[in-house]
Copies of this chain bind each other. A is one copy, B any other.
Amino acid sequence: MSESEKIHLAKTSESEDLKKIRHTTSHVMAMAVQKLFPKAQVTIGPWIENGFYYDFDNPESFTEKDLKTIKKEMIKIINRKLPVTREEVTREDAHTRISAQNEPYKLEILEGLQEPITLYHLGDQWWDLCAGPHLENTGELDPKAIELESLAGAYWRGDEKKAQLQRIYGTAWQTPEQLDEYKRRKEEAQRRDHRKIGKEMGLFIFSEDVGPGLPLWTPKGTLLRSILEDYLKREQTKRGYLPVVTPHIAKVDLFKRSGHWQKYSEDMFPMMAESQEEKDKEIGFVMKPMNCPFHIQIYKSELRSYRELPMRLAEFGTVYRYEQSGELGGLTRVRGFTVDDSHLFVTPEQLDAEFMSVVELILSVFKSLQLTNFRARLSFRDPENPSKYLGSDDAWNKAENAIRNAVEKVDMAHFEGIGEAAFYGPKLDFIFQDALEREWQLGTVQVDYNLPDRFDLEYVAEDGTRKRPVMLHRAPFGSLERLIGILIEQYAGDFPTWLAPVQIRLLPVGDDFVQFAKDTAAAMQLLGIRAEVDLGGDRLGKLIRNAEKDKIPVMAVVGAKEIESNSLSIRTRAEGELGSIDIATVTDRLVKANATNGNF
């Protein structure tokens, strides 16, 4: 880890200092813009987590060159060390003063403001409506810690029927070192962008005619999915999970019974009805947003005995959720995704042990994926918004306590997330932080006393009475699509050897060596190694460049010398040239990487 990575960059919401810096910088920017472009009218200018923006109405389009001019003007304002002063005014007073300025947007903003109405002044030259907080003087800003980043279009009130505005994004920090680190991370994030790398590696595509948020997996991406699925299936088989397969749709009735229709239908695709009349009567089918009600049908299809519990039904179940199209991006937010889902039906006595066993599985999955930096979030209901949830207080308390108890037993960083529960029960979510301090939600395990009630689930207990099982919902990956997106970003496409779709590429340096390379690859394939031969017939430099571009972990040059010594000249992405290694050793190391979920 380089020196710079040790700098922690707070979010605006975490730091009062950053809030002041960014508020003040945005005012300085607006003052500079209005100085340079007297026709520009200001609208809103809030901070965002890594900076701020300001939206302007200006007759001409701002250019990248304008940003430089604006920045220069801002430096002048900073250097003038203008005091920033707060003034509380009456609504009438504010109205009079704004009207004198020809700032119609400000007037509209004023209408929506609650008392007290406050203005912030930069010296005596510029002011805006603002709730603060601010620095006390523009001189407290460090021009070397400020950057105007980009231009974008925006609409007044975010409404595309209203006036079109121009947005300037910027950022501001306490020190130039922080700004440098921020810029480095931004570049690094662009370099790691899974959409870009996914395209370069040829893992998945999107199609306009299929629709946004619906990835199609190419052969190479499908291979990556299979590697992950097969790995988890093996782990699950060891632990007594039972695979099932269920449909992607069901009648609305099923989701009424489960409560999804009442609490979750906004996230579901519109229903399929034969006519408006049937739609009004709610007769029709919907795509499943979750797999639970289907697994419950299988549980319910027979009278179960305590001897059958815990029953762990598992499915790589593809679900569909109607995310707003504006929110879709690459693989991390999609409309169709495959959950590595399982529902465990357990007796109340088995709950703690099964919960721990699920946590153990999730932790071992993260270890195999070489994801080490995560915390557990105890996602509980929001007591102030009870209408979001189903079920009795008693059921919720029992479930939340079960999660609390379990977490206390494991030595695991954790925090509470109020309002993050599912509508049917609380969750333990695993939040992973990547090299760029970005957070991603991965695996989840949920305790549910609620759906067993709604579906009237039972088992015959040892004493012959009918009892109610508890359900655990769990998914170590969460979503296969998201996971792959996150893994691409985390590794910047350099997958651990056991996960790489192609593990070794043999590079014959001439036609005479092609057959040997093919035979070697075929022998490796028989041992489950994903080996291929570059048949392009290019020169060595090009062969290596192509393999590097395709992020193949192990490259093996094959020429006369190698054939004679039954060896391969090995170069890895991670370590560069390793010199000549005999074929048996190369093969053993790859077999071992696969068996141990490791690297070459």
- A positions within 8 Å CB-CB of B: 202, 205, 207-211, 214-219, 221-223, 225-226, 242-251, 253-254, 257, 269-274, 276, 284-285, 287, 293-294, 297-298, 301-302, 313, 318, 320, 336
**Docked-complex contact B301 and A249, CB < 8 angstroms:** no
Least Cβ–Cβ distance between A387 and chain B, in angstroms: 24
Q: A222-B243, A243-B219, A301-B205 are in contact. Are A214 and B270 (CB under 8 A)?
A: no
A249 to chain B: which residues have CB within 8 Å?
211, 214, 269, 287, 320, 336
Q: A219-B242, A270-B284 are in contact. Are A209 and B257 (CB under 8 A)?
A: yes
**Docked-complex contact A248 and B218, CB < 8 angstroms:** no
Q: Which of A215, A249, A254 counts the most B-chain CB atoms under 10 A from its CB?
A: A249
A320 to chain B: which residues have CB within 8 Å?
248-249
In the complex, A210 Cα to B242 Cα: how many Å?
Answer: 21
**Cβ contacts A to B, 7 pairs, < 8 Å:** A208-B253, A209-B257, A221-B245, A248-B248, A269-B272, A270-B274, A272-B272
In the complex, A592 Cα to B214 Cα: how many Å?
Answer: 43
Q: Which of A247, A272, A336 counts the most B-chain CB atoms under 10 A from its CB?
A: A247
Sample of 14 more A-B contacts, CB < 8 Å, known A209-B251, A219-B244: A205-B297, A207-B250, A208-B253, A209-B250, A209-B297, A211-B249, A214-B249, A217-B244, A218-B244, A218-B298, A223-B243, A248-B320, A248-B336, A271-B272
A313 to chain B: which residues have CB within 8 Å?
219
In the complex, A482 Cα to B2 Cα: how many Å?
Answer: 59
**Docked-complex contact A246 and B211, CB < 8 angstroms:** no
**Docked-complex contact B270 and A207, CB < 8 angstroms:** no
In the complex, A251 Cα to B257 Cα: how many Å?
Answer: 29
A293 to chain B: which residues have CB within 8 Å?
209
A302 to chain B: which residues have CB within 8 Å?
202
Instruction: Give the nearest-CB partner of A270 in chain B.
Output: B272
Least Cβ–Cβ distance between A198 and chain B, in angstroms: 12
Q: Which of A242, A245, A284, A294 counts the most B-chain CB atoms under 10 A from its CB?
A: A245
Instruction: Give the nearest-CB partner of A286 in chain B.
Output: B272
Instruction: Give the nearest-CB partner of A336 in chain B.
Output: B247
Least Cβ–Cβ distance between A414 and chain B, in angstroms: 34
Least Cβ–Cβ distance between A315 and chain B, in angstroms: 8
A218 to chain B: which residues have CB within 8 Å?
244, 298, 301
**Docked-complex contact A207 and B318, CB < 8 angstroms:** no
A216 to chain B: which residues have CB within 8 Å?
244-247, 294, 297-298, 301
In the complex, A112 Cα to B90 Cα: how many Å?
Answer: 87
In the complex, A210 Cα to B294 Cα: how many Å?
Answer: 8
A301 to chain B: which residues have CB within 8 Å?
205, 207, 216, 218
Least Cβ–Cβ distance between A79 and chain B, in angstroms: 53
In the complex, A251 Cα to B249 Cα: how many Å?
Answer: 17
A285 to chain B: which residues have CB within 8 Å?
211, 269
Instruction: Give the nearest-CB partner of A216 in chain B.
Output: B246
**Docked-complex contact B210 and A250, CB < 8 angstroms:** yes
In the complex, A254 Cα to B206 Cα: how many Å?
Answer: 13
Least Cβ–Cβ distance between A137 and chain B, in angstroms: 52
Least Cβ–Cβ distance between A304 and chain B, in angstroms: 13
A223 to chain B: which residues have CB within 8 Å?
243
Q: Which of A215, A243, A253 counts the most B-chain CB atoms under 10 A from its CB?
A: A243
A221 to chain B: which residues have CB within 8 Å?
245
Least Cβ–Cβ distance between A458 and chain B, in angstroms: 17
In the complex, A245 Cα to B294 Cα: how many Å?
Answer: 22
Instruction: Give the nearest-CB partner of A207 in chain B.
Output: B297
Q: A251-B210, A269-B285 are in contact. Are A298 and B205 (CB under 8 A)?
A: yes
Q: Which of A223, A269, A270 counts the most B-chain CB atoms under 10 A from its CB?
A: A270
- Nearest first, the 3 A-B pairs at minimum CB distance are A219-B242, A217-B245, A209-B254
A274 to chain B: which residues have CB within 8 Å?
270
In the complex, A65 Cα to B595 Cα: how many Å?
Answer: 70
A210 to chain B: which residues have CB within 8 Å?
246-247, 250-251, 254, 294, 297
Q: A219-B243, A269-B272 are in contact. Are A250 and B211 (CB under 8 A)?
A: yes
Instruction: Give the nearest-CB partner of A275 in chain B.
Output: B270
Q: Which of A225, A242, A273, A298 counts the most B-chain CB atoms under 10 A from its CB?
A: A298
In the complex, A236 Cα to B255 Cα: how many Å?
Answer: 38
Least Cβ–Cβ distance between A317 and chain B, in angstroms: 11
In the complex, A250 Cα to B219 Cα: how many Å?
Answer: 20
A243 to chain B: which residues have CB within 8 Å?
219, 222-223, 226
Least Cβ–Cβ distance between A331 and chain B, in angstroms: 13
Q: Which of A217, A274, A285 counts the most B-chain CB atoms under 10 A from its CB?
A: A285
A273 to chain B: which residues have CB within 8 Å?
270
Instruction: Give the nearest-CB partner of A254 in chain B.
Output: B209
Instruction: Give the nearest-CB partner of A300 in chain B.
Output: B207
Least Cβ–Cβ distance between A46 and chain B, in angstroms: 30
In the complex, A308 Cα to B276 Cα: how many Å?
Answer: 48
In the complex, A297 Cα to B216 Cα: how many Å?
Answer: 8
**Docked-complex contact A251 and B211, CB < 8 angstroms:** yes
A336 to chain B: which residues have CB within 8 Å?
247-249
Least Cβ–Cβ distance between A211 and chain B, in angstroms: 4
**Docked-complex contact B248 and A318, CB < 8 angstroms:** yes
Instruction: Give the nearest-CB partner of A243 in chain B.
Output: B222
**Docked-complex contact A245 and B257, CB < 8 angstroms:** no
In the complex, A257 Cα to B269 Cα: how many Å?
Answer: 23
Instruction: Give the nearest-CB partner of A312 in chain B.
Output: B219
Instruction: Give the nearest-CB partner of A307 in chain B.
Output: B535
Least Cβ–Cβ distance between A222 and chain B, in angstroms: 5
Least Cβ–Cβ distance between A177 and chain B, in angstroms: 43
Least Cβ–Cβ distance between A252 and chain B, in angstroms: 9
